[in-house]
Structure 1
């Protein structure tokens, strides 16, 4: 069996993989080549290099392991037509992303950016506008692996967590659940609104003008899912009209964000360049998911962890 990685794990991660599966022919490259794709039985990729054109070379390919949670850049139709199984690393981002979100929330609540600015100007001032996180309410759109983890951390700080998904069914570390149809009614009670929703047709521009109008003027709005959640013109209007207190954004409709985009300079907006999931342990955690699945695959089993339904987009 030939397994083609389109990225190179560090030697300390690669060597144990080779030792555990001596019967497998592993190929490691930085980037995708059609020549290697023709020979591959299994492809391991971050999901951004495979296209509808290049997949035509993958005549032997039966399984694609995506070392990313997002699959929206992959040629879904072409993959489905060829009957190729796809699995990903859903849940791998929960630790770094939850920590990133909590860091931003605490920084705003405890006026950390203001303190840093005071240090730059060497000004001794106690006029910081500091509030407490305890006894707040957080509305979490998409309480899956990532949303549940940030819910767990927020509950430890005495925050009431309300999850919101399509069905309204229970999710871990949520004190209450609502469905998408109940979203407008839930927003006025939220001090923090966090989205970690994936990119699907249903989530595209899910939040509209009336949703921001329903939020508290002090609300911290955070988008750490996908940039399609809200039309950026609607978001900018809400910020300028002071319908919300803060916007912390890790994702955008078009990335990278252009240097002249108004979000860079609007007050109370934090622009994070889609890095909340970054961690020195990323590939390590990816391989922790890949290895058990590969063990099953070598036995002829296909009930792998995190099998993706490409028709639904996740």
Structure 2
């Protein structure tokens, strides 16, 4: 059995895999080698280097492990047509992303950017606006593993959490739930609106100008899911019209964010270069999931972690 990686774990991580699974042949190559892929049974990737033409030629490929949560760059249709199993690392981002999200919220609430700017200017001023997180309401679009972890932490700060998903079905650490269809009804109650939604047919451009017009003028909008949940021109307009007070953006329609984009110079926007999930533990956690799944797969166990529904795209 040949297992091809198109990224390079640390040497000791590679050695651990080889020693744990001696019956498998591991090949670690970066970038993707198309000829090697043709004879691989398992392919492990970050999900940005596999195209439809690769699937056509990879006759032996049975399982694709994506060491990421996002799948929008994967040729899902072709993978489904070949009936290839696909899994990802859903869930490993929850700790670093929840910490990043909370850091941004507290920074804004306590005006830390202003404090830092005053320090750079050598200006002593204690007339800095500060507000409490306690008693506020957070609306979380996409209350899955990451959203649930954010909800758990926010509840510890005394925040009322509202989850929003396609069905309105209950999710962990949400005080109440709503659906995409009823989103406008709850937006006026939220002090923080956080999107952690994936990119799917249902979520692309889900948020319109009318949604931002429904929000509190003091609201913080945060996007840590995928950039196409709202058109950037719509968000720029909403910010200029003061429909909301702040936007914290970790993802964008096109990345990297182009030079001269309005977001760079807007005082009420924080640009985070798609880094909220960065962690020294990322690859370790990804390989833990892969190893558990590989053990199950080699034992003929069908129940594996994070199997992707290729029709839904998640």
The alignment's TM-score, normalised by the length of structure 1, stands at 0.98
Q: Could you tell which deviates more after superposition, 126-135 or 51-60?
A: 51-60
2:273 pairs with 1:273:
yes
Deviation at 1:280, TM superposition (A): 1.2
State the alpha-carbon separation in 1 of the partners of residues 286 and 276 from structure 2: 16
Deviation at 1:310, TM superposition (A): 1.5
Moved over 3 A (4+): none
What is aligned with 2:168? Answer: 168
State the alpha-carbon separation in 1 of the partners of residues 58 and 280 from structure 2: 31
Deviation at 1:57, TM superposition (A): 2.4
User: Pairwise mapping of residues 291-310 of structure 1 onto structure 2 (< 5 A)?
Assistant: 291-310=291-310
What is aligned with 1:29? Answer: 29
What is aligned with 1:20? Answer: 20
What is aligned with 1:104? Answer: 104
Deviation at 1:302, TM superposition (A): 2.8
Deviation at 1:121, TM superposition (A): 1.0
State the alpha-carbon separation in 1 of the partners of residues 82 and 310 from structure 2: 12
The alignment's TM-score, normalised by the length of structure 2, stands at 0.98
What is aligned with 2:136? Answer: 136
State the alpha-carbon separation in 1 of the partners of residues 29 and 159 from structure 2: 46
State the alpha-carbon separation in 2 of the partners of residues 182 and 59 from structure 1: 46
SS in 1 for 2:248: strand
State the alpha-carbon separation in 1 of the partners of residues 304 and 31 from structure 2: 25
User: Pairwise mapping of residues 69-218 of structure 1 onto structure 2 (< 5 A)?
Assistant: 69-218=69-218
User: Pairwise mapping of residues 20-59 of structure 1 onto structure 2 (< 5 A)?
Assistant: 20-59=20-59
State the alpha-carbon separation in 1 of the partners of residues 42 and 228 from structure 2: 31
State the alpha-carbon separation in 1 of the partners of residues 232 and 82 from structure 2: 37
State the alpha-carbon separation in 1 of the partners of residues 128 and 264 from structure 2: 23
SS in 2 for 1:311: coil
Deviation at 1:300, TM superposition (A): 2.0
User: Pairwise mapping of residues 224-243 of structure 1 onto structure 2 (< 5 A)?
Assistant: 224-243=224-243
Q: Deviations over 1:137-189 (max 9, x none)?
A: 00000100010000011111111100011111110000111111111110111
State the alpha-carbon separation in 2 of the partners of residues 285 and 13 from structure 1: 11
State the alpha-carbon separation in 2 of the partners of residues 12 and 127 from structure 1: 52
User: Pairwise mapping of residues 256-267 of structure 1 onto structure 2 (< 5 A)?
Assistant: 256-267=256-267
Deviation at 1:78, TM superposition (A): 1.2
Deviation at 1:267, TM superposition (A): 2.1
SS in 2 for 1:244: coil
Deviation at 1:54, TM superposition (A): 2.0
State the alpha-carbon separation in 1 of the partners of residues 81 and 124 from structure 2: 65
Deviation at 1:83, TM superposition (A): 1.1
Runs of at least 5 residues in structure 1 that lack an aligned partner in the other structure: none
Deviation at 1:303, TM superposition (A): 2.2
Structural RMSD (CA): 0.9
Q: Deviations over 1:235-268 (max 9, x none)?
A: 1111000110100001111111101111111121
SS in 2 for 1:193: strand
Number of residue pairs the alignment of both structures matches: 314
